[in-house]
Structure 1
Amino acid sequence: MSSQREASISLNHAPDGVGYKLLELPPELLALLESDTPPVLTLESSTNSAVLKNGTRSWGLRQKNTSNALILLKTSEGASTSSSEVPELSLDAISTIHDTIELVPDLAAAAAPIARGKWHEKFARGR
């Protein structure tokens, strides 16, 4: 019989009270931000959402809900049971995220779409 304990990692629910949001960046913006000279970005409001701008480029911020929650984990040291033991490492679940923020090309700068009418009006004309 071994005198060592089984190797395990305990998982604790320990929310830290910080409101986390995950931001999904388009590849071209990520490349700009990781370059040697990252651009200055500004955040402005629009009629229906916020807009992130860099010079002539702009992206609208859109919230996407997900059915699969993302759990943020943080390592922590648990207290040992005696002074001679090494503290045990554990994982704390500090937040659960159910939505992400997605950046999409801002369509406000593009031409306004042609209004096609309501669905029932569109099909009622053909009768």
Structure 2
Amino acid sequence: MSSQNDVGVPLLHASDGVGYKLLELPPELLALLESENPPVLTLESSTNSAIIKSGTQSWGLRQKNTSNALMLLKPSEGTVSSSQIAGPSLKAIATVHDTIELVSESSAKTAPVARGKWHERFARGR
């Protein structure tokens, strides 16, 4: 039987105004960063993107769009205004629709030319 005390965890949308980007690290870079002596990374520009370098290795930054948005949640304590129930709640502080992935590339090779979003290419062919 349901009771008023069993309300679950309220979810509120409370954007914090910060623009978030999620960065997907390749396993070899993650291993370097978690090692005893992590390397110094440098960020350089190229004709079409940015490149992260560590010694002889380099990774190009590529934006990936997703149809499924990711919501960043933050725990919160306090009263939920609509129900005046005090207790723990979650705040959705941001919604992310794209991520940044790092693609390993040789230092001599330049980044490929951006070709636009898939739906833009699809619309041109119709």
Which one has the bigger strand percentage? 2
- The unaligned stretches of length 5 or more in structure 2 are 111-126
1:67-97 CA distance string (max 9 Å, x none): 000000000012289xxxx940000000000
Counterpart of 2:43 in structure 1 is 43
SS in 1 for 2:6: coil
Question: 2: CA distance between counterparts of 1:54 and 1:16?
Answer: 33
Distance 1:80 1:34, change over 3 A: same
Counterpart of 1:123 in structure 2 is none
Give every structure 1 segment of 4 or more consecutive aligned residues whose post-TM-superposition deviation is greater than 2 Å: 1-4
Contact 1:51 1:106 in 2 (8 A): no
- The unaligned stretches of length 5 or more in structure 1 are 112-127
- Identical counterparts, % of pairs: 70
Tell me how large the CA RMSD over aligned residues is: 2.4
Question: 1: CA distance between counterparts of 2:75 and 2:54?
Answer: 36
SS in 2 for 1:79: strand
Counterpart of 2:88 in structure 1 is 89
How many residue pairs are counted as aligned between the two chains? Answer: 107
Question: 2: CA distance between counterparts of 1:80 and 1:110?
Answer: 54
Q: TM-score, normalised by structure 2?
A: 0.76
Q: Which has the larger radius of gyration?
A: 1
Amino acid across the alignment from 2:31: A
